[in-house]
């Protein structure tokens, strides 16, 4: 059983996944951030692999990528950092990123190295399902990594079921049609999440995009297994002098 599956067996509501760009705010803050997230209530950690052209991201996460790249973060460096994290980080770790740097690293080598440093799952938003099915999915599976597909309010029922059948770990339900960090309101999110629930999906559902505080977290959790916070946490780190303190305050604010 994968670590992610194991998590959802133990806890299937109010699961909190927090995103942070690796190498942000400092090159060597990755592990500090992960520890602080784990200690203060994050159930999963999603690490962004910074990319020069992050199409699905809004200005805040773009900016964190730019800074992380300027700090010198690369996939290779990230794997070295993660190697040291295994003893201290017990929550599942997911890597999120775009296809180009992964292809350049070598797709199979990437999966092999990710698995060997203890990564549990992957989110690659621009890896389409056709290429997943015909080429990459088998490699991901070979190394025991979970692969999480995104669905949106625009995704058809048929397609949601298809993506659910291909996903392992969980389904990432994007709350509205937007790039990350948009302020589109979540008014319609209830109907959308109820619709997802009615499909009887095999995977748990985590809701992302627009989750920023206790209220939005609870709205998301009302009809899903949990939620993902990204932009709001990056924003909090932006002005932070003390990663541990900021993370603690931020998560307290969401969870308590």
Partner 1 sequence: MSTTTYQQPSLQGYYGKFGGAYIPEMLHRNVEELRNRYLEIMQETSFQKEFRELLKDYVGRPTPLYLAKRLSKEFNTQIYLKREDLNHTGAHKINNTVGQILLAQRLGKKRIIAETGAGQHGVATATVCALKGVECIVYMGEKDIERQAPNVARMKMLGAKVIPATSGSKTLKDATNEAIRDWINNPNDTHYIIGSVVGPHPYPDMVAKFQSVISEEMRWQLKEKTGSELPTHVLACVGGGSNAAGAFYHFLDELSVQLIAVEAAGHGVNSGLSAATTQLGKPGVLHGSKSLVMQTEDGQVVEPHSISAGLDYPGIGPLHAHLFDSGRGEFLSATDEEALDAAFHLAKMEGIIPALETAHALAVFNQKKFKESDVVVVCLSGRGDKDLATYMKAME
Q: Which of 6, 43, 57, 183 is catalytic?
A: 57
Nearer to partner 1, 148 or 254 (CB): 148
- Report the interface residues with partner 1, using CB under 8 A: 51-53, 55-56, 58-59, 62, 66, 69, 74-76, 98-105, 125-128, 130-131, 149-152, 154-156, 159, 163, 174, 177-179, 182, 184
The 3 state secondary structure assigned to the chain is CCHHHHHHHHCCCCEEEEEEECCCCCHHHHHHHHHHHHHCCCCEEEEECCCCCCCCCCHHHHHHHHHHHHCCCCHHHHHHHHHHHCCCCCCCEEEECCHHHHHHHCHHHHHHHHHHCCCCEEECCCCCHHHHHHHHHHHHHHCCCEECCEECCCCCHHHHHHHHHHCCCCEEEECCCCCCCCCCCCCCHHHHHHHHHHCCCCCCEEEECCCCCHHHHHHHHHCCCEEEECHHHHHHHHCCCCHHHHHHHHHHHHHC
Euclidean distance between the first and the last CA atom of the chain, given in angstroms as a whole number:
31
Active site residue 46: yes
Active site residue 183: no
Q: Is the CB of 62 or the CB of 231 nearer to partner 1?
A: 62
Residue (8 or 209) nearer to partner 1, CB: 209
Residue 11 or 107 with smaller CB distance to partner 1: 107
Which of 43, 46, 113, 164 is an active site residue? 46
Q: How far is the CB of 219 from partner 1 (least distance, A)?
A: 20
Q: How far is the CB of 249 from partner 1 (least distance, A)?
A: 29
Q: Give catalytic residue positions.
A: 46, 57
């Amino acid at each position: 059983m994968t670590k992610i599956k194991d998590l959802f067996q133990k806890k299937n509501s109010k699961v909190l996944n927090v995103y942070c760009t690796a190498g942000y705010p400092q090159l060597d803050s990755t592990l500090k951030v992960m520890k602080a997230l784990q200690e203060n209530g994050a159930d999963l950690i999603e690490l962004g692999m910074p990319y020069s052209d992050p199409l699905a991201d809004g200005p805040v996460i773009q900016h964190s990528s730019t800074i992380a790249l300027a700090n010198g973060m690369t996939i290779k460096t990230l794997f070295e950092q993660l190697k040291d994290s295994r003893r201290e980080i017990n929550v599942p770790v997911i890597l999120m990123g775009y296809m180009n740097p992964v292809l350049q690293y070598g797709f199979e080598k990437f999966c092999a190295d990710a698995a060997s440093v203890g990564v549990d799952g992957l989110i690659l938003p621009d890896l389409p399902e056709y290429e997943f099915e015909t080429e990459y999915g088998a490699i991901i599976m070979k190394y025991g990594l979970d692969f999480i597909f995104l669905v949106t309010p625009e995704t058809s029922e048929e397609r949601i079921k298809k993506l659910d059948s291909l996903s392992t770990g969980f389904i990432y339900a994007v709350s509205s049609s937007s790039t990350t960090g948009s302020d589109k309101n979540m008014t319609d999110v209830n109907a959308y999440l109820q619709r997802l629930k009615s499909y009887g999906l095999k995977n748990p559902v985590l809701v992302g995009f627009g989750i920023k505080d206790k209220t939005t977290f609870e709205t998301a959790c009302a009809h899903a297994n949990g939620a993902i916070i990204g932009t709001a946490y990056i924003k909090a780190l932006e002005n932070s002098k003390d990663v541990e303190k900021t993370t603690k305050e931020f998560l307290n604010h969401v969870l308590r």
